[in-house]
Amino acid sequence: MADASDHPRPDAAPSAPRTGWLLWPLLAAAWLSVLFWGWQAVERMLPVRMPRTRLAPPGQYDTVVEWLGPVSCRLETLDTVRLAGVTPPVAAGVCDRARNRLAELAPAGTRVYVEPAASAGDDATAAPAVSIFLPPAGAEPVRPFPYGRARLLAAVLVQEGLARADADTPNAYRAELEMLQDDARRHRRGLWAEG
C-alpha cells in the first residue's frame, strides 16, 4: 500500500525558490545611488543660480534747493531736513562758516543721495534727520550707490571742526563721526581752535 505522503497532491503547486526576492531591491538601491552621485557631479559643473531678490535701496536721490542753517537744508522732494549725527555749532561765526561750507560743497541744484536716519523719539515738529551724501564728481545717479567714492556731508563738517558729533542719538555713521571729531579736536580745527 502506497503512503499518501509519497505522492504530491495534484492541487498543490511546486514552491519556487525564495532567493530572488532580495535581488530587485538591491538593484533599485544601486541604480538610485548611481543616479544620485551622477546628479551631484553634474550639479557641481552647473553655474550657481542665486535666488532673485529685490533689495530696497536705503535712500534716494534728491536735489538741494538751499541751505537754511549750519546743519539743515531744503530739498526738492523731501523739503526741510537736517543732517543726522551732528549737532549745530553754537558760535555765530562757526554757524556761518558751516552753512557756507555746505553751500560750497553742494550748492543749490546739486544732486545728492539722501538716507533717512532712524528716529529715536524725535520731536514731531523738528525736521527729519537724514544722512546726505555728495556723489562722486561726474557720476550719474546709479544703484547701488557708490558709498566708497562719495562724501558724507556731516563727516566733512565734523572733520573740519564746524559741527560736533551727536553722541546722544543713534546713527549708522556715529563711530566714524566720533573718530573725525577726535581728529579735529587734536588738531584744533574750527570750533576746537578756541578752547
Tens digit of pLDDT at every position of the chain (195 positions): 555 556 556 565 566 556 667 778 888 899 999 998 888 888 888 777 666 656 566 889 999 999 999 999 999 999 999 999 999 888 888 899 999 999 999 999 999 999 998 765 556 667 899 999 999 887 777 777 888 889 999 999 999 999 999 988 888 899 999 999 999 999 999 888 875
- What value does the CA radius of gyration of the chain take, rounded to a whole number of Å? 37
CA distances from 170 to 122, 179, 184 (A): 11, 15, 21
Sign, CA torsion 22/28/34/36? negative
CA distance 16 to 50: 56
Is residue 173 one of the residues assigned to a domain? yes
CATH of the domain at 179: 2.40.50.90
Query: Strands 129-134 and 164-165: what pairing?
Result: unpaired
123 in a structural domain? yes
Q: Could you give the 3-state DSSP secondary structure of residue 151?
A: strand
Euclidean distance between CA atoms 162 and 126, whole angstroms: 21
Q: Cell numbers 515738529 label which residue?
A: 125
The answer as to whether 185 is a domain residue is yes
Give the residue numbers spanning the domain of 120: 60-192
The number of residues making up the chain comes to 195
Specify if 21 maps to a domain: no
187 in a structural domain: yes
- The answer to whether residue 146 is domain-embedded is yes
Report yes or no on 1 lying in a domain. no
Per-residue confidence (pLDDT) for residue 26, from 0 to 100: 85
Measured at the CA of 178, the angle between CA 138 and CA 107, to 5 degrees, comes to 30
Q: Cα separations (Å) of 145 from 43, 148, 171?
A: 35, 9, 19
Dmax over Cα atoms in the chain, in whole Å? 137
Name the amino acid, one letter, at 56.
A
Residue 168 lies in a domain: yes
Instruction: Domain count for the chain, please give it.
Output: 1
